[in-house]
Amino acid sequence: MRQRVLPLMFVLASLPWLPLSAIAEEKLPSPSGEVLLTISGNIDFPNVDGEARFDREMLMAIAPTEIRTRTPWHSDCARYEGPLFREVLAAAGVRSGHVRVRALNDFEAEISLAELHDYDVILAMSRNGSPIQIREFGPLFVLYPFDDHPELLNESVRFRSVWHVVHIHAP
């Protein structure tokens, strides 16, 4: 009896990994355009050299969301579009409770995944229908829905509203 149970246990234990790898391959293809975002660290679904790399098309295919809000850095209310930040992290299979977001100038801020589930934070890629250029906070901007949640208008959240985002690390 013991000889029959061990091979069966091995087969059953290995089955859950088969669909997971198939899903990962299907969920996160390699980027075909310019890479705008790299996610590294504790992730389940890398697509290039152990990292999850995304081009514009890949990012816009992940839970595209629109936020109409004012920001502490703009005087007018604008329409911002981009993927839900939490869904981008899910696409990479982030397994941490927080991430470190890094900008082009190496500025970094830590953001908890719990906060990203409490609020519909996006990685803004366009403002009023036009891609956000580097000189205007682009190519990616961590944007909180400030007008919908006035409690977000504080120094701590402004610190986490990283612009010029290029890299996210999941420790």
What pLDDT is recorded for position 28? Answer: 86
Average pLDDT, the chain: 87
Identify the pLDDT of residue 26. Answer: 53
Please check the confidence at residue 10 and state whether its pLDDT lies above 80.
no
The residue assigned the tokens 């941490």 is 96
> φ, ψ for residue 29 (rounded to 5)?
-75, 170
3-class state of residue 50 by DSSP: coil
Q: Which fold has domain 29-170?
A: Sulfite Oxidase; Chain A, domain 2 (3.90.420)
User: Residue 12 in 3-state DSSP?
Assistant: helix
Distance CA 84, CA 64 (A): 7
* pLDDT of 16 over the 50 cut: no
This prediction has a pTM of 0.83
